[in-house]
Structure 1
């Protein structure tokens, strides 16, 4: 079996900033992939940790970014930092075989990698803005913007992964 170098993009992990259910999913999935003989780098937020650690065989590539403004502004800053960090890491470790994003937060970084560098990616949806708001359009301005990021990721990703049949049905409707 050929060993693959995999870049995972997520706004949270168990060893960076922990927010919800994405963090254990991303860290535990990455550890399982490492146990299967592959190399995994998680591009994630720094929080109060160092910019790099190797934990349980997983390389944590943490980015520092401006955390002021609306959540979409913060994620735009995070995506810019991930995009820049990606090339520095690739120069040190070698080219990535697979790029895999989790939820809407890193979509702008992945779309830039696809558009400017011809890099395909996979995207896992853990939920949608529609679902998080009780299956209706939320009344706050960023909800529409987040929904657009989700749509853009689904449109640009080479493959889509969903965490449940219910979510699959929601996305396909």
Structure 2
């Protein structure tokens, strides 16, 4: 299969989980014998064309068009802060230039053939829509989240881009059944939607990744020492719930006085979290690392932890949750609204690997964290089950095979 692949994030540029997804899934496509041509955002110093682990990557050079945007863009975008308008302008250019290079150079001039167009989220939707119109080949649009879900309401323009992409796509792929239900509630036709779970590199993320001595030294380095360690990893935004987890800490400390919470990530909640920690007198119990770290170091954080908590209020699929499970860690996961975490984490029965909680309720979060911190045998059982569940359901090999199956379906026009 010859794919053209529009995705905003691709190595060396990462903004979040989408970059990890694109990197891992395309690598698997190559292993399965497919040809992928990626069009991704250029951050300024990236090569405009290269080959990354067997994947051809194009990154058109961008420019600042913010001065002319008011003439052409919808009213709601004009109300955005200047930095956000610049981002929107870059996003438009990335889409237009990518589609133009594909249509006019690779296909028209060079005579190359493609079997399918793939776009991911609104940031790359326009390129897919334009290419579909000009080349008339099957178009698959991936929803990893929605504007309404991410923000509670959000930009009418972004929502219209998402609506149009869903309308023009031959098939829609999304990351969980919870996300499918959200898309149906927003008016996308159910018969066009397919669910394919994301994955994790289970050979890389494994319980015995690091020697015990290295883990002990790391715990000492980050200030945990021998204390029970609760870990939060993620973007520091309202939907991720780090603030609610901090509010749960006084309740946790009543039962487990020496517990330590480690927060790893960056985002708009950094100053709020510092204020909250200080106001609750948690300076000795909450350790904040407001930074991005290498993948190797991120795995050390998982290895050092006893319990990993993701109290997300909106999480179509949690890649970091899957990483923690692959490392053999029990997980406490938010389970309200659009929550793929509910599908990832088994909360009862012989295969139990974590707990579901109300992400708005600090007491509910604290209750289940305390249960795990006080029961080492349960933590071990859940950790083993979590690892097994990843191997059965959430590897990149499984995700790639299932995705290719959907792409073949749309190419053959089966029941669409």
**How does the TM-score come out when normalised to structure 2?**
0.38
User: In structure 1, what is the equivalent of residue 153 of structure 2?
Assistant: 137
Whole-Å Cα distance in 2 between the matches of residues 51 and 78 of structure 1?
Answer: 12
Partner of 1:171: 183
> Separation in 1 of the partners of 2:161 and 2:34?
29
Q: Name which of 17, 22, 27 aligns with 1:26.
A: 22
Q: CA deviation at 1:89?
A: 2.6
Per the alignment, residue 194 of structure 2 pairs with: none
The alignment of Structure 1 onto Structure 2 pairs a total of residues equal to 163
Distance in 2, matches of 1:125 and 1:67, equals 28
- Mean Cα displacement is larger for which, 106-115 or 162-171? 106-115
- Runs of 4 or more consecutive aligned structure 1 residues displaced over 4 Å after TM superposition: none
What residue is the counterpart of 2:4 in the other structure?
A: 7
1:80 matched to 2:96: yes
The structure with higher relative contact order (CA 8 Å, sep 6+) is 1
Alignment partner for residue 95 of structure 1, among 101, 113, 118? 113
Quick check: 2:8–2:41 contact (8 Å CA) kept in 1? yes
Shift of 1:118: 1.8
Q: 2-side partners of 1:97 and 1:132: how far apart?
A: 32
**Structure in which a larger fraction of residues adopt helix:** 2
Q: Does 1:151 align with 2:193?
A: no
Match of 1:52 among 49, 52, 55: 49
The Cα shift of 1:76 comes to 1.5
User: Contact 2:37/2:57 (CA < 8 Å) preserved in 1?
Assistant: yes
Q: Displacement of 1:150 after TM fit?
A: 0.6
* Residue of structure 1 in register with 2:125 after alignment: 107
How high is the TM-score relative to the length of structure 1? 0.87
Match of 2:31 in 1: 35
Deviation of 1:46 (Å): 1.7
Superposition CA RMSD, Å: 1.6
SS at match of 1:79: helix
Q: Going by fraction, where is strand more abundant, 1 or 2?
A: 1
**Could you say which structure has the larger radius of gyration?**
2
